């Protein structure tokens, strides 16, 4: 078997790993690359393989950096099935259609600005459209955790099943049991994104076992997270301080996973009386749909959430001061209001969507707080905010950052260094090789050294488009 690392290599976005087995091709994830706009545009429109030659896809979860380039894959000729959990199939359909809408809206907005300036720049074309995104749904083949399936037609030597990755609703690690002609059977395990223990709403990740070859994320390979309970305390303090000075709290958050986690945390705070009942606005049509998917798949919730629902007779994602915003007019009206409020809006890295409008309208007011609660990739607006940039550009215009910027790491849905080490060591007795992906160099190199020190025989950090034979 040959593995081609065509995304999330030496970075954390654009997850995409192509496996060649006996002349057949299986793609693990097909994510959108996020970074410098010119580079992102080229990389997302251009595959390092012919999509028509891909026999099947297994999707670990619905986040856009793992699913977001499926519309281009289909548009360019992929005709096979996309295996994933039922919850991920529902969530990815919602997210991809939303992504297509954002691509179209952002292109329209930029083209309008170009026209207003009388520029001779060529018009911007969306990466893909809502219609392109909707086409992906017909390729989904839902499978549930621990259900065996054979993703490559005509190759019985490959059996697959999914296990809970504990990252977001429906997220999965991919387990491949492989029997190639002329060699002993072996197991390849693709971690997808690994969650932390004790995350809100969802179950803990299933640890690998009996694995010879492990493709593992390394996002926080050099970082230990604060306890999720401490993260909730930090959130409460940041919100309380901002309200006290009469400001707004602006939170860029992934519409799937992080938004629901924040809403649930705020729900508990208001219920306990830890915060005054200021309005909370979830300004993301995608988050509204995603929350509906969460509610329809409550069987994926953890025991704590079920206990909250049973004891309090309340929904985790609904409370009196919470408002889900759908229309553009409602969204715009928030920026004309001066009272304290909490606005949670997508995208999580502040690269697209309504969050950009909230940032540009609030970033220059020192009463306000911009709260960063997730990983921010290099070259994104979110990363520049984390780095406390004095001036940032939004929609091509410069803004002076006067708002307070606070980062809270404990909300991360990714495993930290300790959990990643534990994850790999869980199958140390059989493990021959670890291939680290979805991590920046410092994080991955630190984790690589730690795993080698603990006796794992081979730990690689493949380059982009590198082909590795196992």
Domain identity same for 234 and 369: yes
Domain identity same for 357 and 239: yes
Domain identity same for 206 and 335: no
- 423-433 mean pLDDT: 98
* Spatial separation of the C-alpha atoms in residues 366 and 355, rounded to whole Å: 18
Contact 158, 176 (CB under 8 A): yes
From the list 293, 256, 343, 215, the residue with the least C-alpha distance to 68 is 256
303 CA to centre of own chain: 24
- 16-42 mean pLDDT: 91
Domain identity same for 206 and 317: no
The more confident residue out of 308 and 26 is 26
Query: To the nearest whole number, what is the mean pLDDT of the chain?
Result: 93
From the list 254, 292, 302, 249, the residue with the least C-alpha distance to 414 is 254
pLDDT in tens, 365-396: 999 999 999 878 788 899 999 999 999 999 88
Domain identity same for 41 and 62: yes
Domain identity same for 19 and 68: yes
Residues ≥6 apart with Cβ < 8 Å to 152: 21, 24, 26, 55, 56, 158
Q: What is the pLDDT of residue 227?
A: 79
pLDDT in tens, 103-141: 898 889 888 888 888 888 888 899 999 999 999 999 999
CATH code of the domain covering residue 441: 3.60.15.10
CATH code of the domain covering residue 364: 3.40.50.10890
Contact 95, 290 (CB under 8 A): yes
Domain identity same for 142 and 260: no
Q: 312: pLDDT confidence band, cut at 50, 70 and 90?
A: low
* Spatial separation of the C-alpha atoms in residues 73 and 65, rounded to whole Å: 14
Domain boundary among 364, 381, 407: 407
Domain identity same for 42 and 148: yes
- The alpha carbon dihedral of 308, 309, 314, 315 has a sign of positive
Q: What is the pLDDT of residue 4?
A: 98
For the CA atoms of 129, 323, 355, 196, what is the dihedral angle to 10 degrees? -90
Domain identity same for 237 and 101: no
Domain identity same for 69 and 105: yes
Q: How many domains is the chain partitioned into structurally? A: 2
* Spatial separation of the C-alpha atoms in residues 74 and 3, rounded to whole Å: 21
pLDDT in tens, 65-101: 999 999 999 999 999 999 999 999 999 999 999 889 8
Residue with tokens 């994830």: 29
Question: Model pTM?
Answer: 0.86
**How many residues make up the chain in this entry?**
470
- In DSSP terms, 50 is beta-bridged to none
Q: Where in the sequence is the domain holding 310, given as residue range(s)?
A: 228-407
Domain boundary among 407, 423, 458: 407
Domain identity same for 39 and 160: yes
Map residue 225 onto helix, strand or coil.
coil
Q: Are strands 341-345 and 213-217 parallel, antiparallel or unpaired?
A: unpaired
Domain identity same for 271 and 203: no
Domain boundary among 389, 407, 425: 407
């Amino acid at each position: 078997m040959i593995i081609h690392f065509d995304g999330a290599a030496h970075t954390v976005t654009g997850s995409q790993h192509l496996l060649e087995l006996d002349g057949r091709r299986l793609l693990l994830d097909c994510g959108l690359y996020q970074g410098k706009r010119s580079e992102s545009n080229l990389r997302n429109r251009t595959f390092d393989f012919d999509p028509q030659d891909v026999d099947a896809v297994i999707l670990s979860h619905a986040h856009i950096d793992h699913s977001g380039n499926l519309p281009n894959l289909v548009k360019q000729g992929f005709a096979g099935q996309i295996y994933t959990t039922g919850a991920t199939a529902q969530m990815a359909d919602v997210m991809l259609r939303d992504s297509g809408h954002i691509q179209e809206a952002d292109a329209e907005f930029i083209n309008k600005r170009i026209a207003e300036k009388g520029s001779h720049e060529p018009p911007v074309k969306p990466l893909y459209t809502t219609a392109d995104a909707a086409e992906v749904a017909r390729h989904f083949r839902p499978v549930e955790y621990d259900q065996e399936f054979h993703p490559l037609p005509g190759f019985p030597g490959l059996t697959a099943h999914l296990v809970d990755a504990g990252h977001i609703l429906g997220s999965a690690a991919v387990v491949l049991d492989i029997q190639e002609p002329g060699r002993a059977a072996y197991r390849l395990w693709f971690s997808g994104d690994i969650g932390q223990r004790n995350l809100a709403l969802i179950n803990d990740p299933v640890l690998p076992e009996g694995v010879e070859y492990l493709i593992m994320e390394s996002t926080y390979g050099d970082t230990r997270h604060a306890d999720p309970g401490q993260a909730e305390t930090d959130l409460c303090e940041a919100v309380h301080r901002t309200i006290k000075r009469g400001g707004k709290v602006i939170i860029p958050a992934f519409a799937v996973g992080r938004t629901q986690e924040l809403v649930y945390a705020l729900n508990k705070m208001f219920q306990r009386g830890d915060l005054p009942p200021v309005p909370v606005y979830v300004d993301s049509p995608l988050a509204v749909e995603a929350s509906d998917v969460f509610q329809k798949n409550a069987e994926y919730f953890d025991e704590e959430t079920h206990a909250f629902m049973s004891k309090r007779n309340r929904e985790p994602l609904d409370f009196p001061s919470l408002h889900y915003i759908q229309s553009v007019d409602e969204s715009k009206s928030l920026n004309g209001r001066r009272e304290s409020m909490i606005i949670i809006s997508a995208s999580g890295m502040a690269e697209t969507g309504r969050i950009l409008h909230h940032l540009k309208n609030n970033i220059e007011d020192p009463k306000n707080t911009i709260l960063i609660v997730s990983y921010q990739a290099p070259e994104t607006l979110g990363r520049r905010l984390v780095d406390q940039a004095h001036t940032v550009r939004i929609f091509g215009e410069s803004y002076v950052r006067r708002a307070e910027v606070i980062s809270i790491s404990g909300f991360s849905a990714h495993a930290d260094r300790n959990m990643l080490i534990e994850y790999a060591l869980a199958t140390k007795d059989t493990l021959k090789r670890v291939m680290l992906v979805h991590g920046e160099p410092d994080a991955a190199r630190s984790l690589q050294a730690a795993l080698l020190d603990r006796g794992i025989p081979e730990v690689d950090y493949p380059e982009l488009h590198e082909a590795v034979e196992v």
